[in-house]
């Protein structure tokens, strides 16, 4: 198995276990296996804190489905 040492690049956590959990949670969110609430629970943090971290790493998390995001972007205020 190839090791990419990705967890070494996660600046938000000091413990290796937390870094790996964060990466697994990101994967589960991308695949829509878990909710943001569950992800925050797994990482033992508030949802708003997790959203801020996701924003900081450039992950565009949204509660909306892809087609809803397109509609929302087209909507003018």
Give residue-wise pLDDT tens across range 31-71.
888 888 899 999 999 999 999 988 888 888 777 677 766 76
- CA–CA distance from 41 to each of 27, 38, 49, 50, 77 (Å)? 15, 5, 11, 10, 35
Q: Is the whole model's pTM more than 0.85, yes or no? A: no
Cβ neighbours of 62 (radius 10 Å)? 11
- Number of C-beta neighbours around residue 22 at 10 A: 22
Residue 2's pLDDT band, with cuts at 50, 70 and 90, is very low
């Amino acid at each position: 198995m190839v090791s990419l040492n990705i967890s070494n690049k996660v600046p938000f956590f000091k413990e290796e276990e937390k870094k790996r959990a964060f990466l697994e949670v990101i994967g589960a969110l991308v695949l829509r296996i878990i909710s943001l609430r569950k992800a925050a629970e797994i990482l033992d943090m508030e949802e708003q804190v997790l959203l801020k971290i996701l924003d900081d790493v450039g992950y565009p998390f949204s509660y909306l489905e892809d087609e809803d995001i397109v509609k929302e972007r087209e909507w003018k205020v």
